[in-house]
Structure 1
Amino acid sequence: MDKAIHWVSHIEVNPSSSRILFLHRWTERVSDETCFLHRLITANPDGSDLRLLECSDHPLPQLASDFDPASVGTFAYEKSEYQISHPLWKDDQHIIVWGPHAEEIHYHLYQDRPEGVVEVIGRDILTENGHMSFSPQNSRWMISDTYPDPESSIRDLFLFDTRGDVRIPLGGFYTSPDLGKENRCDLHPRWKRDGSQVCIDSIHDGERRLYTIDVSKITQGNGP
């Protein structure tokens, strides 16, 4: 850490405003995201009672003098096995995150207290990083997406039924592989407050647009 630049990101407040979470990230090579290191931390709003839930400390061959950052794909960072990504409170005590734990990378559900209680969500079903969140009306339902498939350039959008461990596809959306890191368009799904719809950003029609999708028949019924 001595030679690194440090910052925090992905700051989130739990539903009762009693705890915050954030990612502490640091690196010696700012221009190459695959060299970022990560810690998932929670705290009281005044900064007291810090709790370290996860640390993705790992070897960094990318720091070698002959490493070429241009050889790294646009989405290599998001798909890294060391990435701690997109943490979000499920409720006042639980945090969903894509990241490594016990030498495996999954959607993990962390318990803020007691620390050390970690559960895998969707083992062998949810196998890629995405932008996940739970329905504000029923945390049984989680919405998420994927980054583009390297061959088809399709991003998948899906619901996940945490009660039955069922992944329900909602659609696949093309994104031009010519888009770079700065101007790409992730789906970033998010819920309507009543849990009946989700909205996404997409560029599959050739322009960046906002779309809404009705999921009420699934989320307000008994599932698919």
Structure 2
Amino acid sequence: MPTYSTWERQLAHFFNSMPLLKTFLKRSYVFLNYYIYSVNKYRQFTVYNLCSINDLLPFKWQKNELFFGYYDKYPMNNSDFMLLNMTSYSTKKAPSTRYPISVLLINMKQREVLLEIKTRAYNWQQGCRVHWLNDDLFILNDFDSDLQKYIARVFSVSNLKEVKSFDYPVQDSFGIDYFLSINYQRINTLRPDYGYRNLSKMSIIELKRLDNDGIWKIDYRTGKSNLLYSLEQIANFETTNVNLKAFHKVNHLMINKTGDKFIFIHRYLKKNVRFDRLLLADVQGNLLKVLADNEMVSHCCWLNENTIFAYLRGIDNIDSYYSIDIHTGKMTLFDNSLFRKYGDGHPSSNGRFILSDSYPDKALHQHLLLYDIKNGDAKELGSFFHGLSYNEETRCDLHPRLSPDAKRVFFDSVCNGKRQLYYIDL
């Protein structure tokens, strides 16, 4: 399939300061390329057995759209219980507070839905951030209409009921030790794709106040919270050129496996131009290092306790995947031809393999990629059609997730006309 070239990506970057014009030109160019290259009308291709979770559920659930959310979490626990998001509201439309989505807890052995939990705090990219805390407990975000605030709720598989709630929403968690929280109202104001719509957008005065917003740490046992890092601290860290009068936010927090450090993306907007930085911090209140600061950071993951894998603008201003040593800050270009061909994606790793995807190519196919760190082999697992009716905020990235034993890949897709959760067995 024809992919977008380096010069086409650079041209798209040139129009970042003109977002309305960029959206129009991008949309027109996508239509033109699809008209030219859509000779292959197949909706998906993979040599592996492709299974839709919709088809495994009782008939009453099959008519709905299902998805899991972001690429940094895995939908199943070790006992074959699955979590997913479900909606009867069309995901071709922007999320609406009038139409809540449901989180389903499913016993996959018996193909039985055990719990259906409604939530009004969601988006199409990350759902409600539902994920497992351990084999029994899972957490999700919701909106408390009485308190007019976003909250986190914890449910138990063994009890089949809610067992705990918190006054802050979750972004990432470390088991039942602690979780980290961000301001989804600020996110919704600056980037609605990842925010929640239950509260009004923040005013310019509110956005420019940086001392009372940032990253919170919440103790799971006591519920005690503290502002671990303010946006003011983050904006002032290791820089002389960050404009404190710009609009700042943080997003995409990812905790390492030992729970003592995490990475996050600091983004700020100056005259509609976005600047990204990738930062490393510990959970004791110490900002440790700026890992990348060259305008663009896209998607990241932990390869191991010492290494970050990320798509960003790095050496010689080349946009590509890089590995970064968190101790030395050394950045190394990931020079794999298959990954370089398809460009930006959503990478994750189990230590042995790197799994990622691509954005739609010129024929509107997204590609699923797997790289073996041990022997350097890379292969394409499949390609999946992404229709034009899903775009911008309603797009459906594959957001692939690899099982711990690397035998199964889950991903979201609209290849058959509606948002569904699929898996392939490798």
Which TM-score applies when normalising by structure 2? 0.41
Kindly, what percent of the aligned residue pairs are identical? 29
Match of 2:262 among 1, 16, 20: 20
Amino acid at match of 1:143: L
Partner of 2:412: 201
Report Cα offsets for 1:105-128 as digits up to 9, x if no partner.
22111111022x222223433220
What is the aligned counterpart of 2:322 among 108, 113, 135? Answer: 108
| 2:346 aligned partner | 131
Structure 2: stretches of 5+ with no match in the other structure = 1-242
Q: Secondary structure at the match of 2:248?
A: strand
Larger Rg: 2
| 1:117-160 residue CA offsets vs partner (Å, 9 max, x unmatched) | 2222234332200011112xxx22111110001x2000001111
- Residue 46 of structure 1: aligned partner: 284
The alignment status of 1:152 with 2:366, answered yes or no, reads: no
Task: Please state how far the C-alpha of 1:49 moved relative to its aligned partner.
Answer: 4.1
Report what 2:119 is aligned to. Answer: none
Q: How many residues align?
A: 181
Gap runs ≥5 in structure 1:
58-82, 216-224
Pick closer, same or farther for the CA change 1:176–1:134 going to 2, 3 Å.
same
Bigger share in helix: 2
SS across alignment from 1:201: strand
Question: What is the CA–CA distance in structure 1 between the aligned matches of 2:397 and 2:315, rounded to whole Å?
Answer: 29
Confirm or deny: 8 A CA contact 2:262 2:280 kept in the other structure: yes
Structure number with greater CO (CA < 8 Å, separation at least 6) is 2
Structure 1: how far apart are the matches of 2:396 and 2:269? 25
Cα displacement (A) at 1:98: 0.3
SS at structure 2 position matched to 1:147: coil
Normalization by structure 1: what TM-score?
Answer: 0.76
CA distance in 1 between partners of 2:260 and 2:379 (Å): 33
Provide, for residues 77-117 of structure 1, a one-character-per-residue CA deviation record: whole Å limited to 9, x for no partner.
Answer: xxxxxx311111111111110011122222111111022x2
Following TM superposition, by how much is the alpha carbon of 1:38 offset from its aligned partner in structure 2, in angstroms?
0.6
- In 1, distance between residues paired with 2:355 and 2:413? 16
CA distance in 2 between counterparts of 1:91 and 1:19 reads: 12
Aligned AA (1:200): F
State the match for 1:143 in structure 2.
355
- Is residue 90 from structure 1 mapped to residue 332 from structure 2 by the alignment? no
Q: Give the letter aligned to residue 305 of structure 2.
A: D
Contact conserved, 1:174 with 1:203, CA < 8 A, in 2? Answer: yes
- 1:10 and 2:226 are equivalent in the alignment: no
Matched with 1:55 is 293
Tell me how far 1:29 sits from its aligned partner: 4.5
